[in-house]
Amino acid sequence: EKSLGSGVEEFVADGVILLETLPAKGELRRRMAVVKMRGTGHDMKFYQYTISSGEGIIITPYPEVV
C-alpha cells in the first residue's frame, strides 16, 4: 500500500488528491485520483490530465488496464 506523505495529511485534510507521472509507450503521462474528499461521494478511478497554456487543466478518463 502506498503512503501519502507522513500519513498525518489524510487525517487533517478535508480532501486528498493523488497526482502521479507514469511512463507509457515512450512518454510520460499524468494521472490523478481523488483519494479522500470529506462530505462527498466520489469514485476511486484514475483520470488522465494535461496542462495547457490556453485551456488550463484538462481531465479525461484514464485508459483502462485489463
Rg (CA), the chain: 14
Q: Tell me which residue of 50, 45, 38, 40 sits closest to 65, measured CA to CA.
A: 45
Q: Tell me which residue of 58, 9, 16 sits closest to 34, measured CA to CA.
A: 16
Q: What is the pLDDT of residue 11?
A: 74
Are 35 and 16 in contact by the 8 Å Cβ rule? The answer is yes
Low pLDDT (below 70) residues in the chain: 1-7, 9-10, 65-66
* Complete DSSP assignment for 9-48: HHHH-SEEEEEEEEEETTEEEEEEEEEEETTS------EE
